[in-house]
Amino acid sequence: MLPKLSRVPYILTQSNTLEIHVDNTSVVQLIQLSLVPVFLLVAIGQMLNVVTGRLARVIDRARYYEEQRFLGTIVEFNQRQCKELNALRRRMRFANWAINFLTGAAIFVCLTVILLLLNGIVSVPLDSIILFLYMFTMSAIFGGLICFFIEVGIASATLRIPETNYCE
């Protein structure tokens, strides 16, 4: 069970100001509980940074081919270039899906933090909703990591380094 703030009725003071008296210990526990998902949010942000960086490289490479075609340097794509363009298209699709999944996970984390705070303030039980949101968050992170894994696999498969020893 998540901690609840102890509720004391609002007190109207002599100066007509409204005061709320809350137990400091439960406020500290509630804030600590709400901070844990924020670290997850930071990790998701770092994953998004990596995936968007990789997507930017894919876009740069695709633009290079477009530019070469526009300038007339490449009249018709050869088999290797077509293969690379198809791989770039697939990489772009999986990188976009990874970004979508990770952004969804970040939104779920934000909703989880909001509901954790609300759960401590209101008397409506939100525990099961918070649990499902956390499960959705983990599922979205899982989906994002799988898409990232596939994108890296496609990139590695298209990169062919000869077996020659360059140091000799």
Task: State yes or no: pLDDT of 29 exceeds 80.
Answer: no
Task: Identify the weakest region by mean pLDDT among 9-18, 59-68, 99-108, 109-118.
Answer: 9-18
pLDDT at 167: 66
Band (96; pLDDT cuts 50, 70, 90):
very high
HSE-CB at 45 with a 13 A cutoff on CA atoms is: 8
Task: Identify the weakest region by mean pLDDT among 18-32, 37-51, 96-110.
Answer: 18-32
**Pair of tokens at residue 40:** 């997850």
- Distance from C-alpha of 157 to C-alpha of 103, rounded to nearest angstrom: 27
- Distance from C-alpha of 5 to C-alpha of 104, rounded to nearest angstrom: 30
pLDDT in tens, 48-92: 999 999 999 999 999 988 888 777 777 677 788 888 889 999 999
What is the reported pTM?
0.76
The answer to whether the CB of 92 falls within 8 A of the CB of 155 is no
pLDDT at 15: 63
pLDDT at 7: 46
Domain ranges of the chain: 36-158
Task: State yes or no: pLDDT of 125 exceeds 80.
Answer: yes
